[in-house]
A and B are shown apart, each in its own frame.
Chain A
Amino acid sequence: DAKTTQPPSMDCAEGRAANLPCNHSTISGNEYVYWYRQIHSQGPQYIIHGLKNNETNEMASLIITEDRKSSTLILPHATLRDTAVYYCIVKAYSGAGSYQLTFGKGTKLSVIP
């Protein structure tokens, strides 16, 4: 699975949009971009994933560049409960023999009141 690069930490003011970048320049054509977050002492929580089109759900939006070498997770109105470590993961479908999620160090997002 392709490696990802994320900034180690970011701050965001409460109520503002949080934009978390991720570089995955070696991504393959069959690899998806997944975003998870882990709030202290809890299991990882799925946020969103995509292949090449931008995606939006009730939690966030995912913007993937046309060359697929980078992406941005957008939390439109950050709240204090969004303070967590955010992980960008690139992985092929399990049907292609790629089972495990490989979590890097992620970005520690701190939402400031």
Chain B
Amino acid sequence: GAGVSQSPSNKVTEKGKDVELRCDPISGHTALYWYRQRLGQGLEFLIYFQGNSAPDKSGLPSDRFSAERTGESVSTLTIQRTQQEDSAVYLCASSLLASGDTQYFGPGTRLTVL
């Protein structure tokens, strides 16, 4: 596609529920990143996928957070038993490592946990 897409754009959920956030990277991009941005704050790195290599999960804040990626395409970020502090914009980015390593971001998913 033309750019990174994410869905849903907005998600409101109740505390304790599970949520799944989806990211469609730019076609052909081998690397995919998830970040979180709380209101008025900078971006926090969550997880990085590169091809078929084991993902770098070092940024995941707790074991309630997990992510998967199918090959070099779609990724889903799952948050189990959501808490109010999980409220944030979740941003996905992709890059083609062989071409400048520039990360291109999607519009984000705004998650609100009531």
When each residue 93-109 of chain A gets 1 if its CB lies under 8 Å from chain B and 0 otherwise, what string results?
11100011111110000
Cα A66 to Cα B48 in complex, Å, equals 33
Cα A109 to Cα B4 in complex, Å, equals 25
Q: How many positions in chain B have a CB within 8 Å of any CB in the partner chain?
A: 24
Stretch at the interface among B12-20, B68-76, B80-88, B104-112: B104-112
When each residue 20-54 of chain B gets 1 if its CB lies under 8 Å from chain A and 0 otherwise, what string results?
00000000000101010000001101001010000
B97, A95: Cβ atoms closer than 8 Å: yes
Known: A43-B91, A94-B95. A104 touches B42 (CB 8 A): yes
Contact-size category for A: 10 to 19
Residues in chain A near residue B78, CB distance under 8 A: none
CB closest residue in chain A, given B105: A43
B61 contacts chain A at the CB level, 8 A cutoff? no
B48, A99: Cβ atoms closer than 8 Å: yes
Q: How many Å from the CB of A45 to the closest CB on chain B?
A: 7
A42, B56: Cβ atoms closer than 8 Å: no
Cα A34 to Cα B50 in complex, Å, equals 20
Residues in chain A near residue B105, CB distance under 8 A: 43-46
B1 contacts chain A at the CB level, 8 A cutoff? no
Which residues on A are within 8 Å of B, measured CB to CB?
Answer: 32, 34, 42-46, 49, 93-95, 99-105
